[in-house]
Structure 1
Amino acid sequence: MGALSRLRVLDLTQVLAGPYCTMLLADMGADVVKVERPGGDLIRPNPPFVDDPDAEAYGGYFQSVNRGKRSLEIDFDSERGREEFLSLVTEADVVVENFRAGTMERFDLGYETLRAQNPELIYSSIRGFGDPRTGETHRQGQPSFDIIAQALGGVMEITGFEDSPPTKVGPGIGDLFTATLNCVGILAALHHRDRTGEGQYVDTAMYDAMISMTERAIYQHSYTGAAPTRQGNSHPTLFPYDAFEAADGYVVIAAFGTNHWKALCEAMERPDLATDYPNPDRRLAHRDALREEIRAWTRERSSDDICETLEGSVPVAPVQNTDDIFDDPHVHAREMLVSVDQPGADRPVDIAGSPIKMSETPPRPRGRAPLLDEHRTELLEEPQQPAESD
């Protein structure tokens, strides 16, 4: 049994932020019903595919963040569809949606309507700029995507090298971090409901989430009066804390503690550096010259050699690609690669596992993503109760 077994979540979300949030709930045992518009989630046809997009039900994008859910296709423009949805709301614990502000109200299915149907309901929204209920702004109603959130929230301004243009972070953190915070909000609201019987509205905005993520830039600006900008892989207040070129790739070294710095200098056979730069302030003030000293040492050695030399005394790691990740026994021991069926393909596929580990109710992907409208009969024509989680 998962920690959230017998919790019913109606998932009206699509693309990435909302589905990732409800995927976290599904991994923890919630019965997540993916309520899809006619034609299904926009990302169902997105690549990659194992072999043949015409034969396979959906691509890797949809599979990754919709595993373990049930699907029901509903048209909110029809009276029948609205009635079907309201019948599910009566027995639901949580509704999650990521439409633009005002969309659900156009169908007369907004928070107030659903709360009248089920006073204990947790209604959660993920939007680019939040909902007027929690703070009205001129941006609400505008569309937002990951790159927009990263740009507005200051992430791009502090990502990249000093002489390069602003750069977005590779993973869609505008979506994923917002989704994770929304999941935290839902769980907090459920705890409140358990104590009081009171449902509530949970709202998480992508722009807000990116400001929260760039907390370092916020306090730096307040303390110094200057806007932080790009400085590559280095840290604004710690050194060495950077990526260094090896003979066959790159490694990262985080030797900003004096004990780590001394160990690094010893490994480099440069005790003079430890003597000449004995404290963090002095190392930070001369980091350009020290970076070149470290780079001269790493450039002549393989990543494995550097890591074997420093491990145990200096924080170090190779910069890995996914080939390396798939080959790493640590990743397999932690069950961070999970095999699921890919409908229409002749082999299963691997997706990322759950990073949340629990001793008694371990979260895990609970099967493949659903086919569109796959669970209509069991959801609408059978008694209304959450599916058991194994």
Structure 2
Amino acid sequence: MRTLDGIRVLEVGQYIAAPYCAMMLADLGAEVIKVERPAGGDPRRHYDPLRESESGAMSGGFLSYNRNKKSVTLDLSDPADRSCYRALAATADVIVENLRPGAVERMGLGYDVLKADNGRLIYCAISGYGRLSTHSGPYAERPAFDTAIQAIGGMMAITGEPQGPPLPTVTGFADIFTAVLATVGVLAALQGRERSGVGAFVDQSMYDSVASLLERELMLWDFTREPRRRGVDRYSPLGALRAKDGHVALILPTYEMWRWLCVAIDRPDLLEDPRLQTTVQRAENFASTIRPEAERWTSTRTRREIVEHFAAQGLPAGECQTIDEVYACTHLDARRMFLDIDDPHAGRRRMIRTPILTDVYEEPRADSAPQLGADNHLLDDLPRARAG
């Protein structure tokens, strides 16, 4: 048994945000039916890396966001298929959608129409800048993509070297974080429906999501009116220290942690250094003073030795792992954080799962992503449905 067994979700999504949200719901047990265009489907089906066989193909980028789903094809520009989609929506508990603003409304398939057919429907609209008419800002009609949102959301302003240009963080970051919050919104609406008996419209904006993640930066601006330089935190000394086999990273937001570091590297005399008496001083002098002094000790030891020694002193630190090291991490294996997926076209693949673990419910299925239209039989009994 899984937490969302018996919940039907329709996903009218493409690229990352809506597909990842729907995949999280699928991993929690929901039946997720992905509604795609007959001609090509979700554009990510054709992204590299692509693995092909005689019978079909699978994109790594598509598999990452579409595990454990079903796929049906409908041309929503066609009146017959719109009728079919509307009938399918009447059977759904949740719809997750991230088409351009106004697209579903122009087709006569907006929330107000579908809610009239299904008063218990939870409709999650993911967009760049928000969809609720009661909360509409000047950017509401803009199209959005991950990098554009990282930029306008302020994330790029605090990423990168102080003298360099703004840099994006992990590709897809704004999409994934928005999808996680959208999943929380859907789950909250499902819980609310248990009490009220009615559905809800979940309006998840990518811009809102990224701006909310910068709560500390916004608080600092509100309190100080001082712009923070990219790559430098004036209020918490932090950074990476060189080890024999790479780097370890740590942050020293309190005097106690600073004292623990000094003890750990056998340099209690640094506690008396007049340049390092306050947190702000330590932050400003991390690169020029703390790092070189600490590296006299860390550079002769491995990452593991450093992190375990720091932990014994009560000081949190982490190895700067490379992607191949994360992929092969024994701790993540022990947490069962990877799924081994057998795909008929891409072969056996190891994919990171959604990180929700419980002690009672089953873990996510390890089903691959569906081929386009593989489940069109689900449309057979719906008005003017096509068999595929």
The CA deviation string for residues 116-145 of structure 1, in whole angstroms up to 9 with x for no partner, is: 111111111001111142422232222111
SS of the residue corresponding to residue 57 of structure 1 reads strand
CA contact (8 A) 1:53 1:59 kept: no
SS of the residue corresponding to residue 72 of structure 1 reads strand
Shift of 1:311: 2.9
Match of 1:388 in 2: none
Once residues 208 and 225 of structure 2 are traced to their aligned partners in structure 1, the CA distance between those partners, rounded to angstroms, is 21
Shift of 1:303: 2.1
Match of 1:340 in 2: 341
Aligned length: 378
- The amino acid of 2:186's aligned partner reads I
CA contact (8 A) 2:146 2:171 kept: no
- For normalisation by structure 2, the TM-score amounts to 0.91
The CA deviation string for residues 194-238 of structure 1, in whole angstroms up to 9 with x for no partner, is: 111111211111111111011111111111122333135xx4322
Shift of 1:366: 4.2
CA contact (8 A) 1:159 1:169 kept: yes
SS of the residue corresponding to residue 169 of structure 1 reads coil
Mapped pair 1:238 → 2:236: yes
Match of 1:250 in 2: 247
Once residues 311 and 257 of structure 1 are traced to their aligned partners in structure 2, the CA distance between those partners, rounded to angstroms, is 16
Mapped pair 1:317 → 2:318: yes
Once residues 222 and 196 of structure 1 are traced to their aligned partners in structure 2, the CA distance between those partners, rounded to angstroms, is 39
**Unpaired runs of at least 5, structure 2:** 384-388
Match of 1:6 in 2: 6
Q: Cα RMSD between the aligned structures?
A: 2.1
The CA deviation string for residues 282-311 of structure 1, in whole angstroms up to 9 with x for no partner, is: 534643322321233333433233224323
Once residues 281 and 156 of structure 1 are traced to their aligned partners in structure 2, the CA distance between those partners, rounded to angstroms, is 23
Match of 1:61 in 2: 61
Shift of 1:279: 5.7
Shift of 1:328: 1.8
- Structure 1 range deviating more: 14-23 or 189-198: 189-198
- The amino acid of 1:264's aligned partner reads L
- Structure 1 range deviating more: 242-251 or 66-75: 242-251
Once residues 285 and 114 of structure 1 are traced to their aligned partners in structure 2, the CA distance between those partners, rounded to angstroms, is 56
**Unpaired runs of at least 5, structure 1:** 385-390
Match of 2:217 in 1: 217
Mapped pair 1:267 → 2:264: yes
Structure-to-structure mapping, 1:89-238, within 5 angstroms: 89-232=89-232, 235-238=233-236
CA contact (8 A) 2:339 2:366 kept: no
Once residues 99 and 154 of structure 2 are traced to their aligned partners in structure 1, the CA distance between those partners, rounded to angstroms, is 24
The CA deviation string for residues 259-300 of structure 1, in whole angstroms up to 9 with x for no partner, is: 433332233221211344566455346433223212333334
Once residues 55 and 299 of structure 2 are traced to their aligned partners in structure 1, the CA distance between those partners, rounded to angstroms, is 48
The CA deviation string for residues 354-374 of structure 1, in whole angstroms up to 9 with x for no partner, is: 211111124424411111111
- The amino acid of 1:191's aligned partner reads Q
SS of the residue corresponding to residue 348 of structure 1 reads strand
Identity of aligned residues (%): 37
- For normalisation by structure 1, the TM-score amounts to 0.91
Structure-to-structure mapping, 1:50-89, within 5 angstroms: 50=51, 52=52, 56-89=56-89
The CA deviation string for residues 12-44 of structure 1, in whole angstroms up to 9 with x for no partner, is: 011001101111111111111001112210100
CA contact (8 A) 1:243 1:253 kept: yes
